[in-house]
Chains A and B, each alone.
Chain A
Amino acid sequence: MTTMKTITNTLTFSAVDPDAGLKKALTKSRADVIAEMNASGLKGRGGAGFPTSVKWNLAAAAKSDKKVVVCNADEGEPGTFKDRVILADFPDLVLEGMTIAGYAIGAKTGIIYLRGEYSYLRQPLEAAIEKRRAANLLGNDIAGKSGFSFDIVIRMGAGAYVCGEETALIESLEGHRGESRNRPPFPVDTGFMGNPTIVNNVETLAWAACILAKGGDWFNSMGTEQSAGRKLFSVSGDCARPGVYEFPLGVTIQEVLDDVGADDAKAVQVGGASGHCVPAGDFQRTLAFEDMPTGGSMIVFGQDRDMLEVAINFLDFFLEESCGQCTPCREGNEKLLEGALLLQEGRCSMGYLKNLCALGETMQLASKCGLGQSSPNAFLSIVDHFKDEVLGRTAMAPIEG
């Protein structure tokens, strides 16, 4: 491998006994496992923050003998790489979390949907799965628990960001274009091949294993009331020590910046391309579901960065990654990009900018899935916070006429 090891602070994952969670789970009833998850207050670490125990409970209640646990390892949000670190350094914790989920909802099948860009993680993951099979931690009558069978396969993505969206992911698994589905019905009812399916983020599953090992109360005692526990953040951009950092939820942006050595930040993009741009004046805001929800991406911008170029980079990304199914997203992102380029040339009137912002708000409301709903966020927040920088720029191209 021709990369460096990603910098991290001390991660809870490295201090949890292997398979302690699974063994404890198997001494409990399925309902009690879900109750433990409920007590933890864990919300999904993939970004949307849906309570994990609620999702598991819905799937557990569904009647089917073909339920599926999907580990969402598509990690495509720009600026996010914590799942890569978890999969590389703590693969067993993720596999253990999937197995616990399988036990809790009554599933026999686990699927890891691994993004194509992470193909080099496939072999080590296969090896970890194989080792668990040999140790009877996957397969039939797992760890001596008669009647509990569960196994895991890996499926590779093929370079499509939208496939991280859970219904698009399921479409992709079924051999279709990764086009998001209307919801409801939700995957917990009608997921992979019409079977009840839970889709959980890599980090969510790793925390589930920790929670079963150390107890729901342990987890819930950290973080804030509405955002229990700790979370991994992927920090990149203009800072001395980019890397993966674990903090309790409720940490302020400033505290994170202090730890990563970002003394000169003028803004931080919280939540990746689909997140919001936060100016320095708001660095006391907290990373928590009740304030700034995030899947963990934090991109730091130093004083010299051109924020309009940042917005253009993100819009390029969305234009490329839109699945093209619905008009607000397909056409809207193109219009926003055109507008941003006009701004760059110093040729956008205030009136037109207002129209663009109104278009962005329409996209947030009218797009079919989270991609289109969140794609205007970066542009809107940059225009909002950096008007001086964005408007009245010196023309870069000659003005015709």
Chain B
Amino acid sequence: MLVPVQERLRQDIEGWIKSNGGDRSSLLPVLQEVQKKYSRISDYAMQVIADLLDIHPVEVHGVVSFYSFLKEAHKGRFEIRLCRTISCDMAGRDRVARQLENELGITFGETTPDGRFSLEWANCVGMCDQGPALLVNEQVFTCVTPEKVHDILAHFKKMMDINVFQQAEEH
């Protein structure tokens, strides 16, 4: 039987709350799981979490809006975060930034129309000895040059094309 996505989301959330201790302290891990599987944290998801943890939805929203890795809006399947902090800045992050914008046809803060990539700034990602550094989702790339930008993007485009990555579910 086909379970509607909202029902599945609810069941998932119930499971995640349980496996993370069942109380308020499970909130952050649960939000991280929702985002991982469903690509973003919707109003509906926040409402379900609030109901199950017996807190106000505004509380949940307050937490989501606080952390830069949690997001309500749709972002790209691959989120690119380029470090803008000083060591990477000195190592040439401006040119890498420009090349990213050129290759993707978007500016920082935007998502490509096909929903594949979004481009954001990060603060120091702990790779300062090998700047410029960027993250693509959880993967880290260092000593990035404008030329390497193209290769990195090509790598992820290929993964999408051969469907190595499952499309996230809309809800």
Name A's B-contacting residues (CB within 8 A): 1-4, 6-7, 75-81, 83-84, 115-120, 155-161, 172-178, 192-193, 234-238, 242-244, 269, 273, 299, 301, 305, 310, 313-314, 316-317, 320-321, 323
Contact = CB atoms under 8 A, between A and B. Distances in A.
A81 B86 CA distance: 14
A238 B90 contact: yes
Contacts of A305: 90
A3 B128 contact: no
A321 B123 contact: yes
Given A116-B69, A193-B25, A81 B141 contact: no
Interface residues of B, number: 39
A237 B28 contact: no
Contact of B122 (A83, A117, A158): A117
A159 B69 contact: yes
Contacts of A80: 124, 126, 128
B24 A174 contact: yes
B87 A299 contact: yes
A81 B32 CA distance: 24
Contacts of B123: 76, 78, 161, 317, 320-321
Interface of B: 24-29, 31-32, 53, 62-63, 66-70, 84-87, 89-90, 122-131, 135, 138-143
A79 B130 CA distance: 11
A78 B122 CA distance: 11
B86 to A, nearest CB: 5
A80 to B, nearest CB: 7
Contacts of B135: 117
B63 A176 contact: yes
Q: Which 7 A-B pairs have the closest CB atoms?
A: A175-B27, A158-B67, A159-B68, A236-B128, A159-B69, A242-B129, A119-B138
B66 A3 contact: no
A236 B89 CA distance: 12
A244 B127 CA distance: 11
A299 B128 contact: yes
Given A2-B142, A299-B128, A313-B85, 12 more contacts: A4-B143, A78-B87, A80-B124, A83-B126, A156-B29, A161-B123, A175-B28, A177-B63, A178-B66, A234-B128, A237-B87, A313-B86
A175 B63 contact: yes
A158 B141 CA distance: 19
Contacts of A158: 28, 31-32, 67-70
Given A155-B28, A175-B24, A175-B26, A242 B128 contact: yes
Nearest to B122: A117
A81 B129 contact: yes
Contacts of A310: 86
Contacts of A75: 126
A75 B124 CA distance: 9
Contact of A3 (B28, B31, B68, B141): B141
A3 B100 CA distance: 19
12 contacts: A1-B140, A6-B129, A81-B126, A158-B28, A174-B25, A175-B24, A175-B28, A175-B63, A299-B86, A301-B90, A314-B86, A317-B123
